[in-house]
Structure 1
Amino acid sequence: MNNHTVIQDTAGINAFYAKIYSLVGVGLGISAVVSALMLTMFQSVIVSVIMGASWIYYLAIAAELVLVFAASGMALKNSPMALPLFLVYSALNGFTLSVVLALYTQSSVLSAFVTASAMFFAMAFVGKVTKKDLSGMGRALRAALFGLIIASVVNIFLGSGSFDFLISIAGVIIFSGLIAWDNQKIRYVYEQTNGQVENGWAISMALNLYLDFINLFLSLLRLFGRND
């Protein structure tokens, strides 16, 4: 492979990363705007949900799960519906996030966001440049994620602060690793398709990274805001 080809490949994969991260940025931006609106202009709605209409929050969570599976399925089929579903999910997640954020102080939210951002970009860099195959670690972390979900559901009924602390620590570890793995997958997909990657793949990987960041942020928020 000559230098010209190497430069072309580097430019191509960097453009692919940029495309995916622009989608992640749009998704996070929509969520941030919706959350900000709910916590300011529509603060009374959040208070009502927290004080007596929690079913709205849980209904929104259920709708989010449906949207995630639908968006993922459409993305893998390279359907044009994948992007609108991703954007709708981002907006709905902005609402559910606002309910959670209302329970914490601004300092805890800011600390968690800054830390999550720093960890996200650090692990993304590791995933992009490392030569070690992370697929084995990724599969193990996916399995651990299912265990984390089950533990979180169980703790809803137990209400154990110590258990929640352990779940939060596990969440930070799991999602940090998944960020690295998902970033490595971007390079693998690009190479395996010789740079001819369908838009669906970009949306699918953007959704994965969006979820990685949000869940890392929430895990850190529970740690930083334990006394809130």
Structure 2
Amino acid sequence: MASNQYAVAQQTAGALATNKVLRNTYLLLSMTLLFSGATAGVSMAMNLPHPGMILTLVGYFGLLFLTNALRNSIWGLAAVFALTGFMGLTLGPILSQYIQAFANGSQLVLTAFGGTGAIFLGLSGYAVTTKKDFSFLGGFIFVGIMVAFLAGLAAALFSMPVLSLVVSGAFILLMSGLILWETSQIIHGGETNYIMATVSLFVAIFNLFLSLLHILAAVAGQER
């Protein structure tokens, strides 16, 4: 009897901890998305130039490393906002470029934004309600991201538009898988740090949005 009560208490404590991580993750994710959107808006309003591929990668991976190092302290929150704010600053010039290059640029951006929101809500809602274990996707996603990242660099360096579109399509699938995987990790106790869970989901949403925007522009963009 006592052992059964102890087991129930453990399960209850585990469920409460999981719900807390999930709640904190979604709260922090909402705040970082708003902050990133604000910094992107500032970047567009000030007509800031894009920092370039090298500075973007150095800033991203540097702040990502800093966030990971500080993930268990209060400074981890500051690092998360620094990372997502920086990503917003780099996003602003990209959005300005689409809006200026295409007559329906604003529509493309809004469509990509709506599509990203619908995909995220649908996938995360599915993972939460079904509570399916998507841990098996972890290795495939990691390898896929590495391959797609390198292919994307090659497409940018050697101006290969077809390869660039293929990479965008691959990233849509990979980021969708990452959303399922990370949400599943939280639900099943594989991820207990809401700061790192937020970073993972934010990066998935960010890349999903850019990939959708790229494909939409190629398919439905009306060049000026």
TM-score range, shorter chain: 0.7 to 0.9
Provide the rounded CA distance (Å) in 1 between the counterparts of 2:182 and 2:44.
32
Match of 2:194 among 190, 202, 219: 202
Residue 220 of structure 1: how far off its partner (Å): 0.5
- Per-residue CA deviation, residues 86-111 of structure 1 (Å, 9 max, x unaligned), is 11111111110001111111111100
SS of the residue 1:79 aligns to: coil
How many residues are matched? Answer: 208
Residue 60 of structure 1: how far off its partner (Å): 3.8
Whether 1:106 aligns to 2:106 is yes
Aligned runs of 1:175-214 on 2, under 5 Å?
Answer: 175-189=175-189, 201-214=193-206
Q: CA RMSD in A?
A: 2.4
Provide the rounded CA distance (Å) in 2 between the counterparts of 1:217 and 1:66.
22
Aligned runs of 1:4-83 on 2, under 5 Å?
Answer: 13-40=18-45, 42-43=46-47, 46=48, 49=49, 55=52, 58-75=54-71, 78-83=72-77
Provide the rounded CA distance (Å) in 2 between the counterparts of 1:70 and 1:11.
29
Q: Which runs of 4+ in 1 moved over 4 A?
A: 4-12
SS of the residue 1:102 aligns to: helix
Q: Which amino acid aligns with 1:28?
A: L
Aligned to 2:134: 134
* TM-score scaled by length of structure 2: 0.83
Residue 9 of structure 1: how far off its partner (Å): 6.4
- Structure 2 unaligned segments of length 5 or more: list them: 99-104
Provide the rounded CA distance (Å) in 1 between the counterparts of 2:73 and 2:164.
39
Q: Which amino acid aligns with 1:127?
A: A
Match of 1:97 among 91, 98, 104: 91
Aligned to 2:213: 221
Residue 127 of structure 1: how far off its partner (Å): 2.1
